[in-house]
Amino acid sequence: MYRHQFVTREPMKHAGVHGFSVWAVSLNLVLVGALLVMALRVVPSYMEYLTGKDLIMRAADEYDPRSESVADLKIRLAKLLSTNQIYDSSIDDIEGYRERGALIIDANYENRFPVLWILDGVMKFEDLIVETASTGRT
């Protein structure tokens, strides 16, 4: 008869603990979720800012001081903002004034948005000052 020898194995001793604990995974999920919520709150406002900036730059480039007044430019900007569904800034926030023979369009604004419960975020857009071509008059 054959004689089988059974070898008993001893439990393996780990040099260190490997893998993630439940707390580490849940903490990482909370952090990723918080970043995702922030991105979902900030990106639409930033995209609207970029669209509004492009519209204001285009209106300033196409402005002809010999045939258009400041009121005409504001009406055109109001139509552009309405057509492109820009709601963060209104035409009342945009100022136009003459300085050194050129028309200055000041459209700086800030946007507040809810982040979480009583915590609000604020985005300030302070680079929306555009100068049109000079009229040639001083």
- Judge whether 120 lies within some domain: yes
Query: Number of folded domains in the chain?
Result: 1
- Judge whether 122 lies within some domain: yes
Residue 103: give the domain boundaries.
44-131
Instruction: Report d(CA 118, CA 47) in Å as an integer.
Output: 24
User: At how many degrees (to 10) do helices 70-83 and 22-62 cross?
Assistant: 140
**Cβ distance 94 to 79 under 8 Å?**
no
- Judge whether 69 lies within some domain: yes
- Judge whether 7 lies within some domain: no
- So what's the pLDDT on residue 138? 46
- Judge whether 8 lies within some domain: no
- pLDDT band for 134, please (50, 70, 90 cuts): confident
**Cβ distance 100 to 92 under 8 Å?**
no
- Judge whether 103 lies within some domain: yes
* 132 half-sphere exposure, CB direction, 13 A CA radius: 26
- pLDDT band for 117, please (50, 70, 90 cuts): confident
- Judge whether 28 lies within some domain: no
pLDDT tens per residue, range 43-97: 999 999 999 999 999 999 999 888 888 899 999 999 999 999 999 888 999 999 8
- Judge whether 1 lies within some domain: no
- So what's the pLDDT on residue 52? 94
